[in-house]
Structure 1
Amino acid sequence: MAACGFMASYLVKVLDEKEIIPLKDEIYLTNGYLEKEIDWIPGMEGIRLKDLPEFTQATKRDFSYNYYMETAQMADKVSQNMMIIHTFEELEASLVSEIKSIFPNVYTVGPLQLLLNRIKGKETNNNLYSLWKEEPECVEWLDSKDPNSVLYVNYGSVAVMSEQDLIEFGWGLVNSNCYFLWIIRPNLADGKPMVMPQELEVAMKEKGFVGGWCSQEEVLNHRAVGGFLTHCGWGSIIESLSAGVPMLGWPSLGDQWINCKQMCQQWEAGMEIGREVKRDEIEKLVRRLMNGPDGERMRNKALDWKKTAEMATGSNGSSWLDVEKLANEIIKFSRN
């Protein structure tokens, strides 16, 4: 879990203790209460209640609420155990420092894929942990495109959306007139297969390639990919920064809201799509990211983060050293 994701758990616990959440009444959803800033966590300045996971914007504690509470409560009991966070210290310096001031043994071990690549001396086989069957045709299609000319679109392995949202995304991509590689899982639309409207399907073939799944690391590092439309799951965020690719974020649940906000404001490597999907907005944002000066600025920032991630996972880098410390602690513990 990323540092901001962990702190989201801790925030839920503290906000519950302060009786700020759960909401006292549904009127709090519309009276501006959710704009309340939480300004006492270093590295998370400007975070609002509305940026927290969606279950905090309810009047009752549900399963997710209780899960986050229990996670934070268990962390409070940690004394000599090890807390492993999939991030690199330079990316979330203030947050990592804050966590280390609370817990004794914190290790930042990311980006994991860069570490694995260095250990093996070459890129690892993603098929070993892919949840879906990867289609090599996606990369073959990218091979025919110019550098930074393709928008990669993938909402992860779990997130779903309505059929109407999917259609709006489709027309927005088509109308942008940019090349796009769109990964549409069989269960992406409301958890079930969907047949695209014929008119949209025909229009998509001119500039787009639709696949069922792909090797995300290979795609993000392909020279043709110049942007990533993502649900802002932490794995996707850190993989995109590691590849130097700027993002368009459309979060839907959990810590994705905070990840997206950090990506846009703290790391300056992307833009957020509104919660209500509209084809006109998608079209404009895609053009800004792929062809405009804002996109160029964010691409340069993402490339800076790529260099930082590579240094963190290189010899004597922060993550490399933390992995060595962690390994030594595990060996010491196993001998006792």
Structure 2
Amino acid sequence: MDLYQCVLVVPFPAQGHVMPLIKLAYNLAYHGIDVMFANCELVEAKILAAMSDADKEQFPIRLVTYSDGMESQPADQRSGQGLRNSLSKVMPGNIENLIKQINHSDNREPITCVIADLTLGWTLEVASKMGLKQVAVWPAGPACLALSLHIPKLISTGVIDETGSPVKNELIRLSNEVPVFGSSELMWSSPDNPTAQKFLFDISQDVIKATENGSIVLCNTFLELDSSSCALIPNILPIGPLPAIKHLNPSIGTFSPQDSTCLNWLDKQPSNSVIYIAFGSTAKFIQKQFNEVALGLELSGHSFLWVIRSNIVNGSSPEYPDGFLERTASLGKIVEWAPQEKVLAHTSISCFFSHCGWNSTIDGLCFGVPFLCWPYFYDQLQNKNYIRDMWKVGLSLEHDEDGMISRHEIKTKIDSLLTDEGIKRNALKLMEDAKKSVNEGGSSYENFESLIKYLKA
């Protein structure tokens, strides 16, 4: 296939950002675009370590690296406000130098467009300065981008202060069709951690200027899923769900090796019988809360596939309740990281116990799987509201008076979810809508075709 143009794709260096952009890059490559994918060195090392040799041989994207300015910092400290500050300082110059290096190399098409994470607006400014096309990518749902764009008005009307903290205890309505945001559910809210709130609020504000520059804003959604929020965002181009676009290996782009033995285990389970539990790449629990999750799953009596990262309990390995592993040996399978899309597509899966990150939300919707929602931070809070109230494809868990999600709450909600035929019907309906959107003639199919034409022009 002839290569027409060369684009540089630049994600924010975090798992939830890299994954959707690498899926986008993969599909661009399939459509004849020469794609170079830029990561900081630490992220590239993780991606390559998690890929099989076969994946590396067939990988249609060229990986390139830049310095994030934090090479001297331990890996577990290269996140949050420190990473953002370093990126904003060193990344513009490093990306400009990378583009010049690529464009001056032999036997390579020159970079004609930069496709960058919307949270890295300074990268799009570099592209503009160099006379290149710019395309932004928003890696979360459109409602949360619409809220970010609404921040100046929220400040001017006294709803929030300059730090993002609520001044008024009132519901925030962006339009009559968009679910309201509670003052405690603003995606940057973290009243017990001012440092985290500053980071999340700064990230939310970063996207405002980047959106105002007139670039196309790609979003991993489809118009029929949330047309009301999309209507509030200038130049948005919904091109998802990316997992449903063909010719894609869903294992590429993860930071951790996927344990595919769980697929063989699922093959041995009855249809619609297994609870899939995965809380993403960043959520952490205290040991007491972890115990309640384990005992709630046991109490439910259902088979389960549970993804447990080695750092899920206060940054270290969890300790299981006494006898839990022995008592649930015939019911459960535990892995450190799973091939999520293949798991959710499996006929044995009955529901998705999720943190409601946008990538996981889209994955679940693509395969018609009901949700049990336990959001952790940022956009996950609003995603839960959509899942539960707008789309009616799931239920959420409630904290008790001690701030815990109890084992009994988990068992009760699992029982309710698995016997709710209305939720299952709604989930299957959205799955069909998602498929239609990416098939020929669908809204996302047409939008993706228009993107390809823009890049090749």
TM-score, structure 1 length as denominator? Answer: 0.87
| 2:430 aligned with 1:330 | no
Partner of 1:317: 442
Q: How many residues were matched structurally?
A: 312
- Taking the TM superposition and a 5 Å limit, the aligned residue runs for 1:140-289 are 140-275=264-399, 276-289=404-417
Aligned equivalent of 1:55, options 189, 206, 210: 189
| Amino acid across the alignment from 1:14 | K
How far apart, CA to CA, are the structure 2 residues paired with 1:288 and 1:188?
A: 27
How far apart, CA to CA, are the structure 2 residues paired with 1:13 and 1:200?
A: 50
How far apart, CA to CA, are the structure 2 residues paired with 1:43 and 1:192?
A: 42
Aligned equivalent of 1:46, options 152, 156, 180: 180
| 2:196 aligned with 1:66 | no
Q: For structure 1, which runs of at least 5 residues remain unmatched after alignment?
A: none
- Does structure 1 conserve the Cα–Cα contact (< 8 Å) formed by 2:147 and 2:174? no
Give secondary structure in 1 for the equivalent of 2:432: helix
Give secondary structure in 2 for the equivalent of 1:147: coil
Instruction: Classify 1:50/1:246 alpha carbon distance in 2 versus 1 (closer, same or farther; 3 Å).
Output: same
How far apart, CA to CA, are the structure 2 residues paired with 1:247 and 1:232?
A: 9
Partner of 1:14: 153
Partner of 1:305: 430
How far apart, CA to CA, are the structure 1 residues paired with 2:345 and 2:193?
A: 43
Q: For structure 2, which runs of at least 5 residues remain unmatched after alignment?
A: 1-138
Structure with greater contact order relative to length (CA < 8 Å, sep ≥ 6): 1
CA deviations 1:34-76 (Å, max 9, x no partner) are 4x11224243233322221252657966122122112123323
| 1:126 CA displacement | 2.5
| 2:240 aligned with 1:110 | yes
| Amino acid across the alignment from 2:146 | M
Report sequence identity in percent.
26
CA deviations 1:237-278 (Å, max 9, x no partner) are 011000000100100111100010111111100011124311
How far apart, CA to CA, are the structure 1 residues paired with 2:295 and 2:330?
A: 12
- Does structure 2 conserve the Cα–Cα contact (< 8 Å) formed by 1:43 and 1:93? no
| 2:231 aligned with 1:97 | yes
CA deviations 1:282-324 (Å, max 9, x no partner) are 010111122x2x2x21111010000000000000100010001
Give secondary structure in 1 for the equivalent of 2:353: strand
| 1:106 CA displacement | 2.0
Give secondary structure in 2 for the equivalent of 1:51: coil
- Does structure 2 conserve the Cα–Cα contact (< 8 Å) formed by 1:249 and 1:272? yes
How far apart, CA to CA, are the structure 1 residues paired with 2:153 and 2:314?
A: 34
How far apart, CA to CA, are the structure 2 residues paired with 1:40 and 1:125?
A: 37
- Does structure 1 conserve the Cα–Cα contact (< 8 Å) formed by 2:144 and 2:379? yes
- Does structure 2 conserve the Cα–Cα contact (< 8 Å) formed by 1:89 and 1:96? yes
Give secondary structure in 1 for the equivalent of 2:276: strand
Instruction: Classify 1:59/1:132 alpha carbon distance in 2 versus 1 (closer, same or farther; 3 Å).
Output: closer
How far apart, CA to CA, are the structure 2 residues paired with 1:68 and 1:174?
A: 39
| Amino acid across the alignment from 2:335 | G
Instruction: Classify 1:11/1:277 alpha carbon distance in 2 versus 1 (closer, same or farther; 3 Å).
Output: farther
| Amino acid across the alignment from 2:368 | G
Give secondary structure in 2 for the equivalent of 1:74: helix
| 1:279 CA displacement | 0.7
Give secondary structure in 2 for the equivalent of 1:84: strand
Of stretches 40-49 and 52-61 in structure 1, the one that deviates more from structure 2 is: 52-61
Q: Of the two, which has the highest radius of gyration?
A: 2
How far apart, CA to CA, are the structure 2 residues paired with 1:209 and 1:13?
A: 47
| Amino acid across the alignment from 2:204 | Y
Partner of 2:143: 4
| Amino acid across the alignment from 1:67 | I
Q: Write 1 or 2 for the structure with the bigger share of helix.
A: 1
Give secondary structure in 2 for the equivalent of 1:126: coil
How far apart, CA to CA, are the structure 2 residues paired with 1:125 and 1:301?
A: 27
| 1:146 CA displacement | 1.2
Give secondary structure in 2 for the equivalent of 1:248: strand
| 1:235 CA displacement | 0.3
